[in-house]
Structure 1
Amino acid sequence: MGQLTRLFVISRVFIMVFLISGTAFGETSPIMPETPPIGVQGAAPNDVVGQAIQAVLEPLQSAFPPLLTARRHQRLDINRVVLDFYAHRNYRAAWTDGRDVAQLLKSLNDTKIDGLVPQDFRIAELEQARLALQATAPTPAQSAAFDLAATRTYITALLQLRRGKVDPSRLDFHWNFDPVGVDPREDMNSFFAALDAHDIARAFALAPPQETVYRNMRESLAQLRKVRDAGGWPKVAEGQSLKPGMDGVAVAQLRARLVAAGYLAPTKGKRNDYDDSVIAAVKKYQTEQYLGADGVAGKTTLEALNVPVEARIDQVRVNMERARWLLYKLQGTFVVVDIAGYKVALYRDGQPIWRSRVQVGKPFRSTPVFQSEITYVTFNPTWTVPPTILVQDMLPKIQQNPGYLAANRIRVFDRQGNVLDPSTVDWSNAKGLTLRQDAGPENSLGQVVIRFPNDYAIYLHDTPHRELFAKSVRATSSGCIRVENPLQLVELLFNDPVRWNSEGIQKQLANGRTENIKLPVKVPLLLAYWTVDMSKDGRVTFKPDVYGYDSPVLRELNLPTKLPALDLPRADTALVVTEQSKL
């Protein structure tokens, strides 16, 4: 094959590679604010493989121009990373040491321990291509093609481990999380420094989140897979509730299932009576699975016990993906609302120093997932009725009971802010009206509101509906987060033991005035959604997916990553991309 023909084939092949293949997130990867290469001189005259790499990449520079500024949600195709990587190294091949390739192949296969799909990375094709290159005298074009494919796969896998495979902003238009303190350029530098140091395994070890909760999920995933490979959990017959005092085959099955999950000692597994040990084990299971802890294995409890282990494996994988989106190293003080877990925690220096139960939005008025900063607190708040609640909830009550507004201390205002007599209002046509509930103990927002900027009118607040905190499932609000012990949180947020101690807060409330008080320091807030927990003894526990958010993540997580498929090299042809890469 002549030199011009070979260059034409190479260029055409790699234009196809870069244009039809995806990236670490399936189609895109995070933007890398870019510094133009310095001192790039091109491949050395005696570097024929480097010249082949340069011949492929140089024509693509204009197709993937540098992005000089990073804006929120802007993304850069992974091709830009590959282009810049080789340009900075004057197009020298990166995978000339067979030990590096061996480490890469093993590390790609090991991504399964993080819930990823090793088949995404076309390990078998890379291995076959490596062996074929070793068995023949490859052309520079073939060596260049393999080098580029290995680099792309290396970056793709590491970015999936580092930042996730799925792009969360495509699943949730509320998504506004930025990886604060995580510079993509630093990631790339560390990845390629590991390659230069011939320590590929270390790059893969350090890419995922290093937090304990992530390591625990990884260990739990391995344990669940062992259960799956051993045939799964014992099934418990459904159809009737199992209660204390009962005995029989179904109770024996229940005991076996509780033993398999670690809730009952193995020595208790061969009996068939529902004694105190079974009651205690069922209550513990129910508590950890966010079910009503009554010690009775009723319909809901039996359904949870009989969820196949494969489904629980997927649930852990989904939450490991969420961890890769969110588990950045936050410093200082921050608040996390666990929406699916109905709880809130305040952290200092990475450790939780306060926790409380919360109520979150009903499934049809779900609390959105987003981040913000707590900026001020409203004492003795009034409550302006949101339009949706006015139309859907309040108008029917007003129409049925003319005294409803007075009984709940709600006043009616027109567009000009004038107070109206409710008896003069045509409640069948309530356009242009504002309803506002006066401050007081029975105000829907309680005594205090914790506020943060957002587009959804969401805030943390007190509530008079305290009886609902006793429920296991607390998706009961219209979207905002009701906090069980909000005054404790307010004291911690102000962090001023002189003025804003418990006594000072009570004094502020006692004056009865509606006042907004700014925090001395803004406090980061994350509203997150997790459907697994870790028990105190390290066991994975599962929450109901109250909003149905797991399925879309799992679907995207299981979609194949778009990477080029490689044909084995032949004597007179370059490696080519097959049509499989379009699938």
Structure 2
Amino acid sequence: MNKLYFLLILCFFISCKKNQKDTLPKIKKALPAIVITDARTVDIDTALINAYKSETLKQFYLSSDNKTIWGNIKKRTYILSQLKQSDELGLNPNDYKVKKMDIYEKQIDKLNNKQLAEYDLLLTHNFEKYVTHLYEGKLNPKFLYRDWALEDKDLDINTALVKSFNHNTLDSLVKNIQPKSETYIQLLKALKLINSFPDDPISTIESKEKIVLNDTNRALINIKKRLLYWNDMSGKDSLTAIYDNKTFESMKKFQSRHGLVPDGVIGASTIHHLNFSKEKRKHQIIANLERWRWYPNEFAENYFIVNIPDFSLHVVENKDTTAVRNVVVGTSKRKTPVLTSTLKSIVFNPTWTVPPTILKEDVVPAMKRNRNYLKNKNITIYDSAGHEVNPANWNINKPRSYRYIQKPGYYNSLGLIKIMFPNNYSVYLHDTNHRNYFERSNRSLSSGCVRVENPLELAQHILDDSKNWSKDKIDTIIARKKTTSIKITKKYKLYQWYWTAWSKKNQLIFRYDVYDLDEDLYSKLRN
């Protein structure tokens, strides 16, 4: 009996020990030791480190036994030069205490031990902040936008810095930590390019009427000045108020750079883009650099990428663009979300269930005016038990108690096809019954989903199986008007992203900021 009692006590003790172990915090993997070769090092008072209230900084200096590490003038000079020139990467030198560190550096031989420790902490803290900003941006989009869902980027900054410090590869760290995308690289070139333009005391251009070739309009004098300034018009010009052939051809170049229809007709959209100053365009470039740092650094092998402000979709396979489509995106009230996902299936002949927002803002007001509104659109009303409801018996006071489903067909709101991918916004890529929308230059017209031009050809491309999914086979499925779902076997990532500026062949490229995000983001970056 005593033995049994002893065993019970022992088991209880072991069980308690096990629970205690499970509740202990996990200790991070220790950093490699910092190799210090400098003649002069000083101990850093932990109170100075604690004043930063940074666990990262505490952990970093544990690997140097709380001693200063930046005694090497080459390493210090490199860091200071990077932070001073951080504006060349779209960052703000004022975020990194550059002026304060410059004072310390100029008095380096006169600094006492405490001042040397303070300077060392400033160098480490601000260089780590700088590298982190280059990797994942200064701001977190999750705290800025409700309709952005990007994968988290995680950087072990201490390990990265210690390794680079020990191997004298701080320059490689700065280079490799940044996005690898060609668009990001071209954005950096765009920032350098726009900085080369002189200051522009811009005069606002106003014209109530469209201006076409051979028109005479006083606004053309300032329009010509803007075309000369942005290098869309070359040489000199008499700056007359006549819309001549030279100005007409230059205007088409300007319109093409801004994603407008290059028809030479000067309307409201063209005037809007002409009235951007150099400084505003620079803000736009800096905002876009920040966004690219939020995005994943590496692309998948095969992917779809939608640039929302450019109204375009590109299919890229093995670094080669294999398909390009015009798209329609959400309005400013019903934005297309920014997200990263994976394509899962293609649905031919989809039905369409009216979503809550469209029900509230479109359907209910229309039904109040005309009870046959839904019937005319081939939409059937169902009650909670799944029974069809006659529009005459529809309860105007309880519109959410029904389901509203549109049958498959050429005029279905989703068109003939939708492409599904996991997301929290109930959006997908799909065809449309408004196929004329693709002819417009501003295609911010949908309720959040992305409508794709010529999607059946795209479906055949995705399925990539000429035997089982030939054009004739797909046409046969469409003709049956029966909803058919097909799994996508080839792995494609989907990137729905937002960028409004880049450069190409030493030319600045801009797009209309459809959701008015650029200037607000720039303001937050500089505050």
> Deviation of residue 117 (structure 1)?
0.8
> Deviation of residue 214 (structure 1)?
1.7
Paired with 2:72 and 2:361, the residues of 1 have a C-alpha distance of: 68
Q: Is the Cα–Cα contact under 8 Å of residues 429 and 452 in structure 2 kept in the other structure?
A: yes
Q: Secondary structure at the match of 1:266?
A: coil
| 1:69-106 alpha-carbon deviations (Å, 9 max, x no partner) | xxxxxxxxxx3332222223443432011121111111
Would the alpha carbon gap of residues 34 and 464 (structure 1) be closer, same or farther in structure 2, given more than 3 Å must change? farther
Map 1:170-185 → 2, pairs under 5 A: 170-178=143-151, 184-185=155-156
Q: Is the Cα–Cα contact under 8 Å of residues 35 and 166 in structure 2 kept in the other structure?
A: no
Paired with 1:162 and 1:271, the residues of 2 have a C-alpha distance of: 50
Map 1:52-451 → 2, pairs under 5 A: 52=44, 79-136=54-111, 138-139=112-113, 141-178=114-151, 184-185=155-156, 188-227=158-197, 230-232=198-200, 235=203, 237-241=205-209, 242-247=211-216, 250-267=219-236, 273-326=242-295, 328-451=297-420
Q: Secondary structure at the match of 2:173?
A: helix
Paired with 1:39 and 1:99, the residues of 2 have a C-alpha distance of: 22
Would the alpha carbon gap of residues 349 and 254 (structure 1) be closer, same or farther in structure 2, given more than 3 Å must change? same
Paired with 2:254 and 2:32, the residues of 1 have a C-alpha distance of: 63
> Deviation of residue 244 (structure 1)?
1.6
Q: Is the Cα–Cα contact under 8 Å of residues 328 and 452 in structure 2 kept in the other structure?
A: yes
Q: Is the Cα–Cα contact under 8 Å of residues 494 and 519 in structure 1 kept in the other structure?
A: yes
> Deviation of residue 474 (structure 1)?
1.0
Would the alpha carbon gap of residues 87 and 489 (structure 1) be closer, same or farther in structure 2, given more than 3 Å must change? farther
Q: Is the Cα–Cα contact under 8 Å of residues 463 and 482 in structure 1 kept in the other structure?
A: yes
Map 1:452-531 → 2, pairs under 5 A: 452-531=421-500
Paired with 1:391 and 1:216, the residues of 2 have a C-alpha distance of: 43
Q: Is the Cα–Cα contact under 8 Å of residues 43 and 51 in structure 1 kept in the other structure?
A: no
When normalised by structure 1's length, the TM-score is 0.79
Paired with 1:414 and 1:331, the residues of 2 have a C-alpha distance of: 44
Would the alpha carbon gap of residues 459 and 34 (structure 1) be closer, same or farther in structure 2, given more than 3 Å must change? farther
What is the RMSD computed on CA atoms of the aligned residues? 2.9
Q: Secondary structure at the match of 1:336?
A: strand
Paired with 2:133 and 2:31, the residues of 1 have a C-alpha distance of: 29
Paired with 2:479 and 2:206, the residues of 1 have a C-alpha distance of: 55
> Deviation of residue 202 (structure 1)?
3.7
> Deviation of residue 522 (structure 1)?
4.1
Counterpart of 2:508? 540
Q: Is the Cα–Cα contact under 8 Å of residues 491 and 501 in structure 1 kept in the other structure?
A: yes
Would the alpha carbon gap of residues 34 and 370 (structure 1) be closer, same or farther in structure 2, given more than 3 Å must change? farther
Q: Is the Cα–Cα contact under 8 Å of residues 353 and 404 in structure 2 kept in the other structure?
A: yes
> Deviation of residue 359 (structure 1)?
0.9
> Deviation of residue 465 (structure 1)?
0.3
The letter of the residue matching 1:124 is K
Q: Is the Cα–Cα contact under 8 Å of residues 375 and 521 in structure 1 kept in the other structure?
A: no
Q: Which structure 1 segments of 5+ residues have no match?
A: 1-32, 65-78, 560-583
The letter of the residue matching 1:481 is V
> Deviation of residue 441 (structure 1)?
1.0
Would the alpha carbon gap of residues 291 and 197 (structure 1) be closer, same or farther in structure 2, given more than 3 Å must change? same
Q: Is the aligned partner of 1:556 residue 2:527?
A: no
| 1:407-428 alpha-carbon deviations (Å, 9 max, x no partner) | 3221111001011222232335
> Deviation of residue 144 (structure 1)?
2.3
Q: Is the Cα–Cα contact under 8 Å of residues 236 and 302 in structure 1 kept in the other structure?
A: no
The letter of the residue matching 1:163 is E
Would the alpha carbon gap of residues 249 and 327 (structure 1) be closer, same or farther in structure 2, given more than 3 Å must change? farther
Bigger mean CA offset, 513-522 vs 462-471: 513-522
> Deviation of residue 225 (structure 1)?
2.1
> Deviation of residue 368 (structure 1)?
1.5
> Deviation of residue 292 (structure 1)?
4.7
Q: Secondary structure at the match of 2:304?
A: strand
Q: Is the Cα–Cα contact under 8 Å of residues 171 and 552 in structure 1 kept in the other structure?
A: no
Paired with 2:338 and 2:462, the residues of 1 have a C-alpha distance of: 21
| Identity across matched positions, percent | 26
Would the alpha carbon gap of residues 252 and 421 (structure 1) be closer, same or farther in structure 2, given more than 3 Å must change? closer
Paired with 1:354 and 1:286, the residues of 2 have a C-alpha distance of: 24
Would the alpha carbon gap of residues 417 and 547 (structure 1) be closer, same or farther in structure 2, given more than 3 Å must change? same
Q: Is the Cα–Cα contact under 8 Å of residues 286 and 301 in structure 1 kept in the other structure?
A: yes
Number of aligned residue pairs: give it: 500
| 1:37-60 alpha-carbon deviations (Å, 9 max, x no partner) | 2797x999x999564356755x79
Paired with 2:192 and 2:506, the residues of 1 have a C-alpha distance of: 13
> Deviation of residue 527 (structure 1)?
1.4
The letter of the residue matching 1:176 is A
| 1:205-243 alpha-carbon deviations (Å, 9 max, x no partner) | 33322332222211221222222xx22176464245443
> Deviation of residue 468 (structure 1)?
0.9
Q: Is the Cα–Cα contact under 8 Å of residues 202 and 277 in structure 2 kept in the other structure?
A: no
Map 1:31-70 → 2, pairs under 5 A: 35-37=28-30, 49=41, 51-52=43-44
Counterpart of 2:6? none
Q: Which structure 2 segments of 5+ residues have no match?
A: 1-25
> Deviation of residue 134 (structure 1)?
1.1
The letter of the residue matching 1:450 is I
> Deviation of residue 252 (structure 1)?
3.7
Paired with 2:138 and 2:163, the residues of 1 have a C-alpha distance of: 23
| 1:474-505 alpha-carbon deviations (Å, 9 max, x no partner) | 11111111111212222232233332233332
> Deviation of residue 338 (structure 1)?
1.2
Paired with 2:218 and 2:31, the residues of 1 have a C-alpha distance of: 75
Q: Is the Cα–Cα contact under 8 Å of residues 336 and 528 in structure 1 kept in the other structure?
A: yes
